[in-house]
Amino acid sequence: MATQEKVDVVIAGAGASGSTFAAVLAKAGKKVVLIDNGPDWQLTDLISSDMWGRRIKPAGPPFILEGKQVAPIGYHGGWGVGGAALHWFANVPRLLPNDFKIKSEHNRAHDWPIAYEDVAPWYDKVAHDIGISGDAKAEELWRPAGRDYPMPPMRTFKNGEVWLKGFAANNIRMVPAAVAMNSTDFKDRPACIYDGWCHVGCPIGALANPLVTYLGEARAAGAEVRAWSTVTRVLTDASGKKATGVEYFDRDGEKHVQPASVVVCASWAAQNPRLLLNSATDKHPNGLANASGLVGKYMMTHITAVTNAMFDDDLEGAKGTIGGQFMSYERYSKTAHKGAFGSTLLVCGGATKVSGLTGIHNARPDLFGADLAAFMKRAVKGFTRFTAACEEQPKIENRVELVTQKDEFGMPLARIVHNYDDNETALWNANFEEGLKIAHATDAKDVWQMRTAMPAIHLMGGTIMGTGAANSVVNSFGQTHELPNLYVAGPGIFPTCGASNPTYTVFALSLRAAENLASNWGAIAG
Amino acid sequence: MGEALVPGAREAGVAHFIDQQVSVSASEALLEARIVNVRPPFVNFYRGAIAAVDKASAARGGKRFAALLAAEQHDFIGQLRQNKIDGWQGPPAGQVYFVLRSDAVDVVFGTMEGYESLGVPYMPHIAPDKRW
């Protein structure tokens, strides 16, 4: 075993949240090391192909999936430097004020220990750090005023525009979708060329992946990235009150200890609880930061209700971006749909490629043989779809827990159990019903929906924030209640998940937390 | 089965694609299997799938899948898709359908040549230097 020289901060995971912490702290003069279990991807690795694009996603992640609606791993997960944000769709809707106080307003789920107003300045700051295109003023139909985005909205295309008639007929106001992509040149990055390959990684940096934003800044400020290295334990001192570093294995299987003054767990939402649970000691017999018993609990996902349509026009669906062209918070009230509870975000106009999980063929997964071939020829011209993203309410039964089976480093695998309940089913169905009304008010020739299985996307929760160790794992900065120099970052700290894509909020919360840490370094790092 | 799932898959090389991809490490594989939670090594999934298909086919009509008439193959796949094959023993039938169909779509439509065959501009930032 090799013990490395002590650093100020060690970060497990070089994705969206880890990169943000690294940038802030490295620029504050701290010695920062990021440890990531996959390759050190470069922009030149981001090949425009659904097949080749699978290389930047996990292969056999150390989780066993159970439940009726199994947790999303393969498609949504990240593997390697940049994490899932290397291939994110870059939709950046934000959470709204009603997401932060569900308990107070509806006596359900949890309140966040902070309000929208605490996060809003950080949303605005992120927008100007990484580059967001959109129309902030238009969004003020539904949210408090803030700063304008640094770039105007992206171009729109027929595959998005054809839906507007249907939304208008149902009194749903659509606004330009906010996306972390460049509608114009931004900083030293070029404008988007609308080729629709965002989901396998944008090698020109028009899409704000970590390599061209916070991770690039972190490296420029001296942060070190150790790829192909897997953190297996967070280490603590004899008192159990302070984290002292991490244990990790390199690509050759050699074990290392990386001492640090501050430890940030910034892995995937299911990996952070796995790591904390595997770091149990005599002082923390149930895992680190787990006095509440809530490490691994309240895993959440978003449900999507997709409405498909075929038009006679050539919509050129492969063009544009994988992010949306238009979005709406019109159904974001928790009680927008009668008989169902939870928010819905509406998005239309993402580019659709020919193959891959989101490819045209999977709009009709029931077709094969000559029927599929005929559908493909028609769909490459006339197919489009829109998505209603729905909120899941947190349930303690949805969880991550260790199992006896172990990985190649001797670390226990984890089981992720995930099920929706009748409320989520009702919300999903309500959105399907409205989706049909919207689609039938357009000029579509055929309209259909696939209601065979409820999708689960965007894994969140598992290390939720709250007011204290009795009801949560971390505070609003991701600082664990029990070990002040141990942080958790990412969507795992959300106590409720709203219906908005999580990564913008991940960036905002991480930036807020990292700047707080930098400002209070002496008190926290000791 | 690839040809029955997507016409043109045989000529496009679906058998080579799968053979070649299960021979490399899971982290290098380009297979849809890695996206839909198939545990490596992926060859185990394909071996299990092929054995289960042939066993179920033989149990239904006394012939391996490849020996079935085209209409019989179509009927078999329809049952496979819906998890309706009696006595199925192997990876989940619906997952077998989904993964094998995706493999066939990949080789027929997912390449630059496949896009061209559909009249869709490929528009790569960085073009793949080989199909797989």
Give the pLDDT confidence of A399-408 residue by residue, as tens digits: 999 999 999 9
> How confident is the model over A237-267, as pLDDT tens digits?
999 999 999 999 999 999 999 999 999 999 9
What is the rounded end-to-end Cα distance, in angstroms, of chain A? 27
Provide the token pair at B96. 């077998």
Give the mean pLDDT of A424-447: 98
What residue type is A318 in one-letter code? A
Integer Cα distance of A171 and A322 in angstroms: 26
pLDDT of amino acid A212: 98
Mean pLDDT of the region A160-181:
98
Nearest to B120 among A50, A51, A318 (CB): A318
Q: Does residue A175 have a pLDDT over 90?
A: yes
Write out chain A residues lying below 8 Å of B24, CB-based.
none
CB contact under 8 A, A195 and B124: yes
Identify any residues that bridge with A460 across adjacent strands, giving them in sequence order. Answer: A300
Place of tokens 């020829």: A377
Q: Which of A49, A65, A203 sits opposite B37 (nearest CB)?
A: A65
Instruction: Please give the pLDDT value at position B20.
Output: 97
Sign of CA dihedral A473, A477, A479, A481: negative
Q: Give the 3-state secondary structure percentages of chain B, helix then strand then coil, rounded to 5.
A: 60, 0, 40
How far apart are the C-alpha atoms of A392 and A499, rounded to whole Å?
8
Is residue A73 very low, low, confident or very high in pLDDT (cuts 50, 70, 90)? Answer: confident
Whether A92 has a pLDDT exceeding 90, the answer reads: yes
Kindly indicate the confidence band of residue A365, based on its pLDDT and cuts at 50, 70 and 90: very high
Backbone dihedral angles phi then psi of residue A401, each to the nearest 5 degrees: -145, 150
Distance CA B73, CA A336 (A): 47
Supply the pLDDT for residue B118.
97
Structure tokens at A406: 């172990």
> Using CB atoms within 10 A of its CB, is residue A193 exposed (0-12), middle (13-18) or buried (19+)?
middle
- Alpha-carbon span A170 to A396, nearest angstrom: 36
> Does residue A72 have a cis peptide bond before it, meaning omega lies within 30 degrees of 0?
no
Which pLDDT score, from 0 to 100, does residue B85 have?
Answer: 94
Q: What is the pLDDT of residue A457?
A: 95
pLDDT band for A18, please (50, 70, 90 cuts).
Answer: very high
> Token digits for A147?
């700063």
Chain B interface test: which of A41, A46, A48, A51 (most B C-beta within 10 Å): A51
CA angle A40, A41, A43 (to 5 degrees): 145
What is the pLDDT confidence band of residue A60, given thresholds at 50, 70 and 90? confident
Contact B123/A356, CB-based, under 8 Å?
Answer: no
With vertex at residue B15, the alpha carbon angle to CA B14 and CA B21, rounded to the nearest 5 degrees, is 90
Of A262, A143, A226, the residue nearest A521 (C-alpha): A262
**pLDDT for B61:** 85
Q: Which two tokens stand for residue A22?
A: 């690294």
Strands, E assignment, A478-525? 486-488
Give percent above pLDDT 90 in chain A: 97
**Distance separating alpha carbons of residues B95 and B90, to the nearest angstrom:** 10
pLDDT of residue B115: 97
Give the DSSP letter string of A14-64.
-SHHHHHHHHHHHHTT--EEEE-SS----GGG--S-HHHHGGGS-SS-SEE
Nearest CA in chain A to B41: A60
B128 to chain A, minimum CA–CA distance in Å? 6
Mutate to test the interface with B, among A50, A66, A204 (most CBs of B within 10 A): A50
Chain B hits for A413, CB-CB cut-off 8 Å, are none
Q: How far is CA A419 from CA A73, A268, A395, A425, in A?
A: 15, 19, 9, 11
Question: Mean of the pLDDT values across residues A158-171?
Answer: 98
Query: Side chain identity at A263, as an amino acid letter?
Result: V
Q: Work out the average pLDDT over A19-34.
A: 98
Q: Residue A452: what pLDDT?
A: 87
With a CB cutoff of 8 Å and minimum separation 6, the contacts of A29 are none
Give the residue from chain A lying closest to B36, CA to CA.
Answer: A74
Give the mean pLDDT of chain A. 97
Residue A76: its pLDDT value, please?
A: 86
d(CA B5, CA A511): 48
The residue of chain B nearest to residue A70, with distances taken between CA atoms, is: B37
CA angle A320, A326, A331 (to 5 degrees): 150
Task: Give the gap in angstroms from C-alpha B108 to the nearest C-alpha of chain A.
Answer: 9
Please give the residue of chain A at the shortest CA–CA distance from B34. A59
User: Is A100 in contact with A116 (CB distance < 8 Å)?
Assistant: yes
Token duo for residue A388: 């209603």
pLDDT in tens, B77-121: 999 999 999 989 999 999 999 999 999 999 999 999 999 999 999
Give burial (CB, 10 Å; 0-12/13-18/19+) of B78: middle
Which pLDDT band, with edges at 50, 70 and 90, does A68 fall under?
very high
CB distance A170 to A214 below 8 Å: no
Q: For position A489, what pLDDT does the model report? A: 98
pLDDT at A61: 80
Bridge partners (DSSP) of residue A255 are A249
Q: Read out DSSP for A356-412?
A: STTSGGGGSTT--THHHHHHHHHHHHHEEEEEEEEEPPP-TTSEEEEEEEE-TTSPE
Does the pLDDT at position A75 exceed 90?
no
CATH architecture of A2-525: 3-Layer(bba) Sandwich (3.50)
Could you tell me the residue ranges of all domains in chain A? 2-525
Mean pLDDT within A361-367: 97
- Whole-angstrom distance, CA of residue A478 vs CA of residue A495: 11
Per-residue confidence band for A71, with pLDDT thresholds at 50, 70 and 90: confident
Contact residues of B toward A, CB < 8 A: 4-8, 26-32, 34-37, 39-40, 74, 77, 81, 98, 101-102, 105-106, 109-111, 114-115, 118-128, 132
Angle at A517 between CA A514 and CA A521, to 5 degrees: 145
Nearest CA in chain A to B28: A55
Q: What is the pLDDT of residue A263?
A: 98
Is A372–B4 a contact, with Cβ atoms under 8 angstroms apart?
Answer: no
